[in-house]
């Protein structure tokens, strides 16, 4: 009977489906039990080949689970002690800050590799790469000299409706936190209100702001520097209508934010997990980041990509990154002015 055949076929295929998938996805463990489970807020397209290289060099397999940094953080908090994650690699320090409570203290030999300003005060995570906040501008309508160098110029009437920001994005929120610390609560609130009154344009993320500047939708956009370099690498530097400009080194606009890594508590002593973090901070890996993602290496011995201003020339506002974890007050402020 037709109905019975369909039912039988369905049962058989449901039971065999996972086997089929197991065969199709490369899950061969090549006989070694040396492996780590990593929650990666950085995409596979970017770092997948890097992890393969780690496995090749050390024989330790990386079970990488990719997702948004914040979503993975929310997931780890929901999983609690039962989380399969051993290592957490995050796009931004904000997400690392919110999971500090479930992260282990890193060995001093690792944390001392990089300057104090790029790691957690309590040594639960360290920065892997640095990103500078920059202003992208439409080179067809704005000259480099006209681009504001101070955050306070952005609320000028001249830029009405012409500034793109990503208020829901972690890097923008870190910048606002930095501004609160550097310029004070009142000044930051006033500035945000002026910005809203000046018809600021809201986007979902940095990449979309850059696309908008590149297609002439807005004249200025606040983004991280490497978005420009990455897009230029994808479509060719000559076809970039958007250009970027670094702000005054002391202005909150020139904040250096970091991507970072931490170990989950139960993996504090896990040699494989520790080896992975050490390897991320090695000169070779740091320079791989510099040349592949155009971010700043944080290991002092590693060199940044050509064409970038030196990291220490972009001092950033006078604050330390650990203070950036005061995210709730920033969110409250952004909610109050109606940006998120």
Partner 1 sequence: MPSSPAPRTPRLLFWGAAAAASIAAIPLLYLVIRITGSGIDSILEVLSRGRTWETAGTSLGLAFTVIIASLAISYPTALILTRVHVPFPRSFFTLAVLPLAIPSYVAAYAWLAQFPAMSGFWAAALILTLVSFPYTFLPIIVSLRTSDHSLEQVARSLGRTPITAFLATSFRQSTPAAAAGSLLIGLYVLSDFGVVALFRVDTFTRVIYSTYRASFDKTSAAVLAGILVLLAIILISLERKARGRTLRYRPDRGVANSLSRLTSTRGIRSASVAWLTGLATTSLLIPTASLFILMSEGTRALDWGELTTAVINTVVVSFVGAVIAVGLALPIAALTSRFRNRKSAAIESLSYSGLALPGVVIGLSLVFLSINVFPAIYQSFFLLAFAYAVLFLPKSLGASRSAFESTPPVLEQVARSLGKKPMSAWMFTTGRLSLTGVAAGGLLVMLTSMKELPATLMLRPTGFETLATELWNRTELAAYGAAVPYALALIAVAAIPAFLLSKAILVTKSEEKRPTEISISA
- Which parts of this chain interact with partner 1 (CB under 8 A)? 2-3, 6, 10, 13-14, 17-18, 20-21, 24-27, 37, 43-46, 63-68, 70-71, 73-75, 77-80, 82-84, 94, 98, 168, 170, 173, 201-204, 207-208, 210-212, 215-217, 227, 230-231, 233-236, 327-328, 331, 335, 338, 340
Q: How far is the CB of 63 from partner 1 (least distance, A)?
A: 5
How do the residues of the chain divide into helix, strand and coil, expressed in percent and rounded to 5?
50, 15, 30
Between 9 and 121, CB nearer to partner 1: 9
Q: How far is the CB of 107 from partner 1 (least distance, A)?
A: 26
Nearest 5°: the CA angle 113, 98, 337 is: 120
Q: How far is the CB of 249 from partner 1 (least distance, A)?
A: 27
Q: How far apart are CA 340 and CA 335, in angstroms?
A: 5
Q: How far apart are CA 191 and CA 175, in angstroms?
A: 13
Q: How far apart are CA 317 and CA 76, in angstroms?
A: 32
Q: How far is the CB of 258 from partner 1 (least distance, A)?
A: 18
- Do the beta carbons of residue 223 and residue 172 sit within 8 Å? no
Between 113 and 289, CB nearer to partner 1: 289
Between 114 and 159, CB nearer to partner 1: 159
- Do the beta carbons of residue 164 and residue 212 sit within 8 Å? yes
Q: How far is the CB of 178 from partner 1 (least distance, A)?
A: 16
Between 76 and 281, CB nearer to partner 1: 76
From first CA to last CA, the distance across the chain in angstroms is 58
User: What residue has token string 């310029």?
Assistant: 183
- Do the beta carbons of residue 69 and residue 170 sit within 8 Å? yes
Q: What is the DSSP string of 98-165?
A: HTGGGBPPPPHHHHTTS-GGGB-TTSS-EEEEEEEEEEEEETTT--GGGS-SSGGGGGSGGGTT-EEE
Q: What is the DSSP string of 208-243?
A: HHHHHHHTTS-SEEEEEHHHHHHHHHHH-GGG--EE
Q: How far is the CB of 200 from partner 1 (least distance, A)?
A: 11
Between 153 and 211, CB nearer to partner 1: 211
User: Alpha carbon 245 to chain centroid distance?
Assistant: 20
3-state secondary structure of 281: coil
Q: How far is the CB of 301 from partner 1 (least distance, A)?
A: 27
Between 114 and 125, CB nearer to partner 1: 125
Q: How far is the CB of 232 from partner 1 (least distance, A)?
A: 11
Between 244 and 299, CB nearer to partner 1: 244
Between 117 and 201, CB nearer to partner 1: 201
């Amino acid at each position: 009977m037709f109905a019975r055949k369909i039912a039988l076929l369905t049962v058989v295929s449901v039971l065999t489906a996972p086997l089929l998938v197991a065969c199709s996805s490369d899950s061969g463990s090549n006989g070694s039990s040396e492996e780590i489970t990593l929650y990666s807020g950085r995409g596979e397209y970017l770092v997948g080949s890097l992890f393969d290289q780690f496995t090749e060099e050390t024989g330790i397999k990386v079970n990488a689970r990719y997702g948004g940094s914040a979503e993975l953080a929310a997931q780890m908090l929901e999983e609690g002690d039962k989380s399969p994650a051993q290592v957490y690699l995050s796009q931004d320090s904000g997400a690392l800050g919110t999971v500090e409570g479930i992260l282990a203290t890193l060995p001093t030999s690792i944390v001392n590799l990089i300057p104090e300003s790029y790691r957690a005060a309590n040594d639960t995570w360290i920065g892997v790469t640095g990103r500078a906040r920059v202003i992208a501008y439409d080179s067809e309508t704005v000259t480099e000299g006209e681009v504001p160098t101070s955050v306070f110029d952005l609320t000028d009437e001249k830029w009405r409706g012409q500034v793109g920001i990503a208020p829901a994005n972690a890097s923008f929120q870190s910048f606002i936190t930095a501004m609160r610390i550097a310029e004070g609560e009142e000044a930051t609130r006033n500035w945000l209100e002026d910005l809203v009154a000046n018809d600021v344009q809201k986007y979902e993320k940095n990449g979309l702001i850059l696309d908008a500047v590149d297609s002439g939708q807005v004249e200025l956009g606040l983004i991280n520097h490497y978005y420009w370099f990455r897009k230029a690498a994808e479509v060719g530097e000559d076809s970039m209508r958007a250009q970027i400009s670094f702000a005054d080194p002391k202005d909150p606009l020139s904040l250096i934010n970091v991507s970072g890594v931490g170990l989950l508590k139960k993996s504090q002593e896990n040699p494989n997990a520790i080896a992975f973090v050490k390897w991320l901070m090695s000169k070779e890996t740091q320079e791989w980041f510099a040349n592949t993602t155009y971010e700043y290496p944080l290991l002092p011995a590693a060199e940044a990509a050509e064409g970038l201003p030196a990291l220490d020339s972009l001092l950033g506002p006078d604050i330390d990154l650990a203070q950036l974890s005061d995210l709730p007050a920033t969110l409250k402020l952004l909610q109050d002015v109606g940006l998120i």
